[in-house]
Structure 1
Amino acid sequence: MAERRRFKKRYCRYCEQKVDFIDYKDLQLLKFSLSERYKIMPRRLTGNCKKHQEMVTAAIKRARQTALIPYIVDRKRVVENPFELIK
C-alpha cells in the first residue's frame, strides 16, 4: 500500500503577528493572499485560519470595489509583480 504523504503544517501568518483587523488599504499585507492572476488564494495554500481568511476575503473584495486591486488580469499582459503598477 502506498504511504500517505505528510505535509508541513502551515501556520496562520496573521495569528502569529496577532492581527485583530485586516485593513483593505494595506496592500502589502493583502498581496500574500493573491495569486499572480489576482485570484484569492485558498486556506489550504496560505495556511490562514478561518477567521483571518474571512477577513482577508472581505478586505480584498473591498479593495477591488475601491479600485485598489483589479478584478482580472489580461492573459496577454500577465505581470510578475502586480503591485509594482500600484503606487
Structure 2
Amino acid sequence: MPPRPKKFIDPFVLAGIEYIDYKDPKLLAQYITYYRSIQSRFHTGTSLKNQKQLASSVKKARQMALLPYVRYE
C-alpha cells in the first residue's frame, strides 16, 4: 500500500486570519520567493481558497507599489 500524502495545515487558519489583506506587505513577503514570484501551495501549505486570495492580494500590492515585481541587484 502506498504511503498517504501528508496533510497540510493552512497557516492562515492556524493564525486565525480570515481575510488576506493586500495592505500588509510583511505578511505577503513571506509567501514570495527570492526572485519575487508567488510560492506554490505545495511550499506554503495553504488551502486552495487562501492561495487564490493570497495571489490576488500579492497582485494588488504590486499594482499599488507595496511589493516589487522583480528583484533588483
TM-score range, shorter chain: 0.7 to 0.9
Render the CA deviation track for 1:29-64: whole Å, top value 9, x for unaligned: 111110011100000111000111111001000000
When normalised by structure 2's length, the TM-score is 0.85
Gaps of at least 5 residues in structure 2 are none
The Cα of 1:10 is off from its aligned counterpart by: 3.2
Spell out structure 1 runs of 4+ moving beyond 6 A.
4-7
Distance 1:5 1:34, change over 3 A: farther
Match of 2:43 in 1: 45
When normalised by structure 1's length, the TM-score is 0.72
Distance 1:12 1:67, change over 3 A: same
Which has the higher Rg, Structure 1 or Structure 2? 1
User: In the aligned structure 2, how far is the partner of 1:43 from the partner of 1:29?
Assistant: 16
Number of residue pairs the alignment of both structures matches = 72
